[in-house]
Structure 1
Amino acid sequence: MNKKSQILKLAENKVRSGGYGNFSFRELADEIGIKSSSVHYYFRTKADLGAALAHQYVDDFLALLNAEKAKLKGRSAINLYINAFKTALEKDNQMCLCGLLGAQSDALPEQVNIEIKRFFELNINWLQAVYIDEKGLAVDIAKTKAIQLLATLEGMMILAKVLDDTSAFDSLNDYINEDI
């Protein structure tokens, strides 16, 4: 893993475990074993790093969803989407990066907020397309369902984290599928 990738991965872990203010360039440099100026070589400012981090997170999340969706045979992409959130909590015990940053958006640089908005817009579009393709819903109803599911999952992540219990995700698949 190159230095830039190491910086992004470490910054992601720090943000997902404690928010945007949970790291400094000096801390990242010390943990990786490089000089702080080396972090600045890749990311001029913390806002640049935050934007790059969110951008990469969005791209990686959607690439994973699309790769898994391509493998589906008769299973719902909605269930795949729900399980992506549950797996993130179970595997990493961390919140969705853009959901966490979204809660802090009033205090974040504009370029970071642009990437957070991109996450939500692309995820709503992805879900909307699934609701149209799989359930045959009209465009406006599919968009409403997509927004509702995304909001539900972000909220469930908070509850699961606070209550230290991801079991609510297990019943969500049935609830979502009955609700349509």
Structure 2
Amino acid sequence: MSNREKLLNIAEDKVRQGGYSNFSFREIATEIGIKSASVHYHFPTKADLGAAVAHQYTEAFMKALGDISDIMEKGDNPIDVYTNIFRNALLEDNKMCLCGLLGAQNESLPEKVQVEVQRFFNKNLTWLTAAHRALGSENPTQAAITTVSLLEGAMMISKALNDHSYFKLVTSDI
């Protein structure tokens, strides 16, 4: 794994644990065993690193979702696939959705990071709308917004109350 990849992974982990302000270049450099200047070589500013982290997260998330028609051909429900990504993040990794967490901090984020967070939600809403349409939903756009809002909110409440049973309760019927 390259230093760039290590930097992105460590930064993602720190953001998912405590938000955008939860990391510094010096901290990340120390964790990898490089100088802070080496972090700046790969990412000139914290905004560049934050945007790259959000971009990488979005790409990995969308790849994990896969193609809706492939999911349905297997006899699976695409909304279940979507829900399981959130479920695994919270229940197995005890982490929030990176872009959900950043979205809550939107006003304080650099513009580059805001753009990547918006990209995450736009891609998710597009995918969910197509999934709900494929499932015959009367209003697939509304269903998509409801799905992502429900999951992000359930995640936030479960983390805030330090009790994942809230997430399990909300998602038991999805």
Q: Which TM bucket (shorter chain)?
A: over 0.9
Q: Secondary structure at the match of 1:175?
A: coil
The reply to whether residue 8 of structure 1 matches residue 15 of structure 2 is no
Partner of 2:95: 94
Are 1:16 and 1:100, in contact at CA under 8 Å, matched by a contact in 2?
yes
- The structure with the largest helix share of the pair is 1
Letter in 2 for 1:104: Q
Q: 1:147 to 1:53 in 2, by over 3 A?
A: same
Deviation for aligned residue 1:68: 9.0
SS of corresponding position for 2:173? helix
Distance (Å, rounded) in 1 between the aligned partners of 2:168 and 2:12: 27
TM-score (norm 1): 0.89
Q: Which residue of 2 aligns with 1:111?
A: 112
Q: Structure 1 residues 91 and 40, CA, compared in 2 at 3 Å: closer, same or farther? A: same
**Secondary structure in structure 2 of the residue aligned to 1:34:** coil
CA–CA separation in structure 2 for the residues paired with 1:6 and 1:28: 9
**Number of residue pairs aligned between Structure 1 and Structure 2:** 173
Distance 1:75 1:124 in 2: 19
Shift of 1:160: 1.5
1:155 paired residue number = 153
**Does the CA-based 8 Å contact 1:54-1:97 persist in structure 2?**
yes
Per-residue deviation, 1:69: 7.2
Q: Unaligned regions of 5+ residues in structure 2, if any?
A: none
Q: Residue 67 and residue 4 in structure 1: after superposition, are their counterparts in 2 closer, same or farther (change >3 A)?
A: farther
The amino acid across from 1:101 in the alignment is L
Match of 1:38 in 2: 38
Please, which runs of 5 or more residues in structure 1 have no aligned partner? none
SS in 1 for 2:34: coil
If the length of structure 2 is used for normalisation, what is the TM-score? 0.92
CA pair 161-174 structure 1, distance change in 2 beyond 3 A: closer
Residues 142 and 71 of structure 1: is their aligned pair in 2 closer, same or farther, counting only changes over 3 Å? closer
Q: 5 Å matches for 1:76-95?
A: 76-95=77-96
Measured after TM superposition, the shift of residue 166 of structure 1 is 2.8
Contact in 2 for aligned 1:79/1:173 (Cα 8 Å):
no
Query: For 1:135-150, what aligned pairs fall within 5 Å after superposition?
Result: 136-138=136-138, 141-150=139-148
